[in-house]
Chain A
Amino acid sequence: MKLAVQVNEGPYQHQATDSAYHFTKAALEKGHEVFRVFFYHDGVLNGTRLTTPPQDDRNIVNRWVELAEKYDLDLVLCVAAAQRRGLVDDGEAQRNGKDATNIAPKFRISGLGQLIEAAIQSDRLVVFGD
């Protein structure tokens, strides 16, 4: 089955992001296709490489990165949500005159159209939120 995943909550604050990760990983391991994982609302905070959790805790950001490297997963942060919450890649830094970037590898910032497209292209959209 072809799946799209939407993540609406930030890491550590909320279980949604853990559930989304475990669901996505399990689906990929079972041989399903995950067309895209789209991060919205505080979900965009899943994509900052500056996250530093305690050593005895899971690293949610790195977990996504590793999954994306293994399965060539498309991890997309909504641009409007990312701008509000200070998630910045090279293009955004240039456009908005920011002095730093913080996006993790394998993540990209793009528009809400990517969510709509994922919903259209996939057999199921699975939303993880509050």
Chain B
Amino acid sequence: MSDIKKFMYLNRRAPYGTIYAWESLEVVLIGAAFDQQVSLMFMDDGVFQLVKGSDTSQSDMKNFLPTYRTLGDYGVRHLYVDKASLEARGLTTDDLIEVAWEDFETEEEVDNIVEAVDADQVVQLMAESEVVFSF
């Protein structure tokens, strides 16, 4: 398969409470082997997936926040966060983890690929995507 498509994974759920966030992440990790052009979009309660400092030690749940930090190594080029969803929950990008990205061939580096986008950009980014996986 040589065709490369623009993939967007749309994450709308809080990280714990339901399994959607974790099983979505599993698709992203497995999907990396297919070398597509991948971005993630976080909106609604999905923005909580990127909030730093989460502690699951009292809940018997595996904390998978560290996995998001590795997404740059899995070929994910952008993590977009819906600005309105952040604001509605009293959050700013300062509350979110940073995810670094590096192209191992060109050595191009980006310190943080987490980016807040407004509603118009959300619409545009979705329209530009050829596949939207919704979770």
Contacts and interface: CB of A to CB of B under 8 A. Distances in A.
Contact of A41 (B7, B19, B33, B131): B19
A50 to B, nearest CB: 22
Contacts of A41: 19-20, 23
A129 B27 contact: no
A91 interface: no
Given A113-B34, A117-B34, A120-B34, A129 B26 contact: no
A46 interface: no
Contacts of A119: 5, 7, 131, 133
Given A8-B135, A127-B134, A129-B135, A116 B23 contact: no
Interface in B42-81: none
A121 B33 CA distance: 15
B93 interface: no
Given A116-B36, A129-B135, 8 more contacts: A6-B133, A8-B134, A111-B30, A112-B27, A113-B31, A115-B133, A116-B27, A120-B34
**Size category, A interface:** 10 to 19
Interface in B2-50: 3, 5, 7, 19-20, 23, 26-27, 30-31, 33-34, 36
A112 B30 contact: yes
Majority secondary structure, A binding face: helix
16 contacts: A8-B20, A8-B135, A40-B27, A80-B23, A84-B19, A112-B31, A113-B34, A115-B27, A116-B27, A116-B30, A116-B34, A117-B34, A119-B133, A120-B34, A129-B134, A129-B135
A125 interface: yes
Given A41-B23, A115-B27, A116-B27, A127 B132 contact: yes
Contacts of A129: 134-135
A116 B132 CA distance: 11
Contacts of A111: 30
B36 A120 contact: yes
Interface in A56-96: 80-81, 84
